[in-house]
Structure 1
Amino acid sequence: MSLDTVVEDIRDEARARADEIRADAEAQAEEITEEAEAEAEAIREERQREVEATIEQEREQKLSSAKLEAKQARLEARRDVLQDVRDAVEDELASLEGERREDLTRTLLEAASTEFDEDDDVSVYGRADDAALLEDLAEEFGYEHAGERDCLGGVVVESETSRVRVNNTFDSLLEDVWEDNLREISDRLFEAQ
């Protein structure tokens, strides 16, 4: 075998080995590329799921916030309506006249009088516009009309000797009735909703 043949065999063998190494390298490169592409696709899909989850969470938060605002607006409207009703009742009480006012005031004074002894010095207070009525009623009960109180009507009756004060004003009675019946009032006003 000649030297040229040996050199040629070595070259062929080297070329074959180089082709084999190149093919392995290309296969590895292809495998690495496929793995990288698969990993990139997985990362892209994960990011897309995260973005969709974030969007859904933000949508839910905005929806929840909008519902809360709507509920607060409804409650505020209800409070306004209830306040309007209360104001109308107060106006109605303040505008009572004649026998109706006299009967109610007498009834309130009678109820208060049960708290006092016969020998107590009792003072009666009430609305300035009711001064004449209160003077007459106080005299009927043997009490003294002692002045004004800022109220819608009714009486505040007190005695320093027994240290008792009874607030039987329209305002205090309205407050008690209002508090005791607020749920029912609200239900009646808003039952259609």
Structure 2
Amino acid sequence: MSLDTVVEDIRDEARARAEQIRSDADERAEGIVADAEADAEEILEERQQAVQRQIEQEREQTLSSAKLEAKQMRLEARRDVLQDVRASAEERIATMDEGREELTRALLDDAAAEFDDGSNISVYGRADDEALLTEILAEYEGYELAGERDCLGGVVVESDRSRVRVNNTFDSILDDVWEENLRDISAELFDER
């Protein structure tokens, strides 16, 4: 064998070896690229799912906030309507003429039952009812009009002998009736029956 042949065989072997290395490298590169693309696809899918979950969560939070805000607005509107109804009732009570004397007498009689005879009894009432109270108290021995109370009507009665004070004002009665019937009033106003 000649030297040229040996050199040529070595070259062919080197070429074949280089071709094999190149082929192996290309295969490995294709595998790495395929793995990277698969990883990228998986990461992309995970990110898309995460974004979708976040969008869904934010949508639910926004919807929940909107529902809560709407509920609060409805409650505020109901409260405003109830306040208007209460104010209207107070206005009608404050300006009522028919039955005022009879109701005031009944409230004074009810309060009088709490006090002993012979006590000096002080009665307070609405400034606009002064004449009515003076006329009614003329029939009660030991009772005198002692001053004004800021109220819709009725009486506040107290004795000089005891610490008892009876609040029989129209306001206190309205408060009791309002509290006892608020649920029914609300149901009637807002068609909840």
Considering the TM-score relative to the shorter chain, is it more than 0.5?
yes
Cα RMSD after superposing both structures: 1.2
Tell me how far apart the structure 2 counterparts of residues 63 and 84 of structure 1 sit (CA, whole Å): 31
Per-residue deviation at 1:192? 5.0
Letter in 1 for 2:130: A
Per-residue deviation at 1:77? 0.4
TM-score, with normalisation over the residues of structure 1? Answer: 0.96
Partner SS state of residue 68, structure 1? helix
Write out per-residue CA displacement over residues 8-67 of structure 1, whole angstroms, 9 at most, x where no aligned residue: 111111111111000000000000000011111111111111111111111111111111
Counterparts of residues 73-152 of structure 1 (less than 5 Å)? 73-98=73-98, 100-142=99-141, 143-152=143-152
Corresponding residue for residue 169 of structure 1: 169
Tell me how far apart the structure 2 counterparts of residues 4 and 96 of structure 1 sit (CA, whole Å): 134
Letter in 1 for 2:50: E
Write out per-residue CA displacement over residues 109-152 of structure 1, whole angstroms, 9 at most, x where no aligned residue: 01101110001110111011111111122221221111211110
Letter in 1 for 2:20: E
Question: How many residues of Structure 1 are paired with residues of Structure 2 in the alignment?
Answer: 192
Tell me how far apart the structure 2 counterparts of residues 101 and 166 of structure 1 sit (CA, whole Å): 19
Corresponding residue for residue 63 of structure 1: 63
Once the two structures are overlaid, the 10-residue window that deviates more, 82-91 or 46-55, is: 46-55
Letter in 2 for 1:183: R
Corresponding residue for residue 180 of structure 1: 180
Letter in 2 for 1:17: R
Letter in 2 for 1:19: E
Tell me how far apart the structure 2 counterparts of residues 27 and 146 of structure 1 sit (CA, whole Å): 110
* Structure 1 gap segments, 5+ residues each: none
Letter in 2 for 1:134: L
**Identical-residue share of aligned pairs (%):** 68
Tell me how far apart the structure 1 counterparts of residues 140 and 76 of structure 2 sit (CA, whole Å): 46
Tell me how far apart the structure 2 counterparts of residues 154 and 192 of structure 1 sit (CA, whole Å): 34
Corresponding residue for residue 47 of structure 1: 47
Tell me how far apart the structure 2 counterparts of residues 141 and 96 of structure 1 sit (CA, whole Å): 24
Tell me how far apart the structure 2 counterparts of residues 190 and 114 of structure 1 sit (CA, whole Å): 41
Once the two structures are overlaid, the 10-residue window that deviates more, 114-123 or 141-150, is: 141-150
TM-score, with normalisation over the residues of structure 2? Answer: 0.96
